[in-house]
Amino acid sequence: MRLGCVLAAFTPLPLGEFLALAREVEQRGYHQAWVGEVSGYDAISVMTLIASATERLHVGSAVVPVQTRTPVVLGVTAASLNHWAPGRVALGLGLSSPTIVGDWHGLAFAPAIQQMREAVEIIRRVAAGERVTFEGKFYRVKNFRLTAPPPAEPVRIVLAALGPEMLELAGEIADGVVLNWIPPETVPESIKHLETGAKKAGRTLAGFEIASFIRTCVTDDAAAARETLARDITGYAIVDAYASFFKTSGFGHEVDALNAAWKAGDRAGAVKQISPRVLDGLGVVGDEAFCRERIAEFARAGLTQPVILPFAPTGATGDPRPALLRTLRAFP
């Protein structure tokens, strides 16, 4: 079983400590370190640092918004990273959210499958060193060509996906997919949509990466960790896209009750709607033996790369790093 990990909680560390942690992750046998980009550190910079400090560890963005950089910039970026860390880079792309794209970046937010399709085509062509002229609904490029030597290996692109349409697009045009907040019981259904997309392109899912972030806490205080997890789930469940996704995962009753409480201004009441079965389905909390077995269940469900996203329990006073490191060091 190949495992990935998310190092976002550790990026505030001084550079030397962070790079030492990246090397430890590699030595422990993790396959890939994933880096997100929201309002914290720039994903590309962090990926570059990790790749430069390691020899075998793969790096991936999960994800950068496709709207906040042009496809030409993303293509040049991907080619650069793949040149310095050949075969170890995955460019993860997502359609993001109205807050990030509209409120923070001042750009129009109209999430569309076609925008992702166009962006991926341009990125691949740019990174391959082609002379690119493109006229689409969302993007126009005239006569661009990368002047640096293109990387020897094609750039790997993975897409963040929740719903059937994006899953099918990933299966059709990408090299992998990054899932989020998915219980192992619904992984096979997502894979069916990936297979549908792959068939459109006349291919199979052989060599296709199916990764998923899994909130994980190896702890002796399961109650505190589950409280933290419930608050985290609540923050996502009030977002329409995730509310719909959680409902398709079988958590409709809890999501409806949560959103009703939230809209009534009862924040604490909203969190209380997160039932034990939701917590058990969407997170992994317990001792090391339990967590290792539960992560293995995700792999048996069809993930090619479960991704450990460590979190610290509520009440972890002071420095949360010991709690986070305990989880990270429980694997692989």
Asked if residue 81 is part of any domain, the answer here is: yes
How do residues 244-289 score in pLDDT, each as one tens digit? 999 999 999 999 999 999 999 999 999 999 999 999 999 999 999 9
- pLDDT for the residue 317: 62
- Asked if the structure places residue 268 within a domain, the reply is no
Is 244 contained in some domain? no
pLDDT at 28: 96
pLDDT greater than 90 at residue 114: yes
pLDDT digits (tens, 9 = 90+) for 30-54: 999 999 888 888 999 999 999 999 9
Asked if residue 226 belongs to a domain, the reply is no
Section 150-157 average pLDDT = 91
Whether pTM > 0.85 for this model: the answer is yes
Q: What is the mean pLDDT of residues 170-184?
A: 97
Q: What is the pLDDT of residue 191?
A: 98
Q: What percent of the chain has pLDDT over 70?
A: 99
pLDDT at 109: 83
Could you tell me if residue 104 is inside a domain? yes
Is it the case that residue 12 has pLDDT exceeding 90? no
Report the CATH number at residue 96: 3.20.20.30
The pLDDT tens digits of the residues spanning 286-327 come to 999 999 999 999 999 999 999 999 999 976 667 888 999 999
Which pLDDT does position 152 carry in this prediction? 87
pLDDT tens sequence across 64-89: 999 999 999 999 999 999 999 999 99
Of the two residues 218 and 38, the one the predictor is more confident about is 218
Domain count within the chain: 1
131 in any annotated domain: yes
Question: Is residue 250 one of the residues assigned to a domain?
Answer: no
Range of the domain at 322: 4-219+285-328
Q: Which three-class secondary structure string do you get for the chain?
A: CCCEEECHHHCCCCHHHHHHHHHHHHHHCCCEEEECCCCCCCHHHHHHHHHHHCCCCEEEECCEECCCCCHHHHHHHHHHHHHHCCCCEEEEEECCCHHHHHHHCCCCCCCCHHHHHHHHHHHHHHHCCCEEEEECCCCEEEEEECCCCCCCCCCEEEEECCCHHHHHHHHHHCCEEEEECCCHHHHHHHHHHHHHHHHHCCCCCCCCEEEEEEEEEECCCHHHHHHHHHHHHHHHHCCHHHHHHHHHHHHHHHHHHHHHHHHCCCHHHHHHCCCHHHHHHHEEEECHHHHHHHHHHHHHHCCCEEEEEECCCCCCCCCCHHHHHHHHCCCC
Residue 263 within any structural domain of the chain = no
Mean pLDDT, the chain, whole residue set: 94
